[in-house]
Amino acid sequence: MAAASCPDIQDLHMHTTADKDGATGTFVVTVQFGIAPQHYASFMLEMLINAKKSRELEPGCVVFDVCEDPARPGEVFLYEIYKDAAAFEQHKRETHFLEFDRVVAPWVTSKTIRVLSLAGQ
């Protein structure tokens, strides 16, 4: 079985306790996407741009990791941490997110969103 690939995560604990500029967060969002095979490469390009902008432009976005599992082609998993629920709501209003969502919507075959909190925080 192939190992899952998540290039931005090296030590998850390190990311959640202090990330960019020492920011911490406890509001966790995971998203599982199913993507139409013919649009997978385009989706990943748009997703990686969106993730980079989220990390760089949103003070409330602490972690935004894009993961794929070679054993499950066409599936993409996001692991996001925000300072709080308000930061996540702001993320959904950001211009870069709205543009990303508009562009990729026709390529998405399924989408499951979960909101969690970090244990022990």
- Residue 49, in any domain of the structure: yes
46-74 average pLDDT score: 95
Q: Domain span at residue 49?
A: 25-115
* Single pTM value for the model: 0.80
When comparing pLDDT for 119 and 110, which is higher?
A: 110
Q: Within 10 Å of residue 88's Cβ, how many Cβ atoms?
A: 20
Number of structural domains, the chain?
A: 1
**Domain containing residue 78: CATH number:** 3.30.70.100
Return d(Cα 101, Cα 95) in angstroms, integer.
10
Largest interatomic CA distance in the chain: 42
Handedness of CA 70, 72, 75, 81 (dihedral sign): negative
Residues 6-16 have pLDDT tens digits of: 444 333 333 44
Return d(Cα 53, Cα 22) in angstroms, integer.
18
Residues 70-116 have pLDDT tens digits of: 999 999 999 999 999 999 999 999 999 999 999 999 999 999 999 99
Q: What percent of the chain has pLDDT over 70?
A: 80
- Residue 93, in any domain of the structure: yes
What confidence score (pLDDT) does residue 23 get? Answer: 57
CB 40 within 8 A of CB 73: yes
- Residue 2, in any domain of the structure: no
- Residue 61, in any domain of the structure: yes
User: What end-to-end distance do the CA atoms of the chain give, in Å?
Assistant: 34
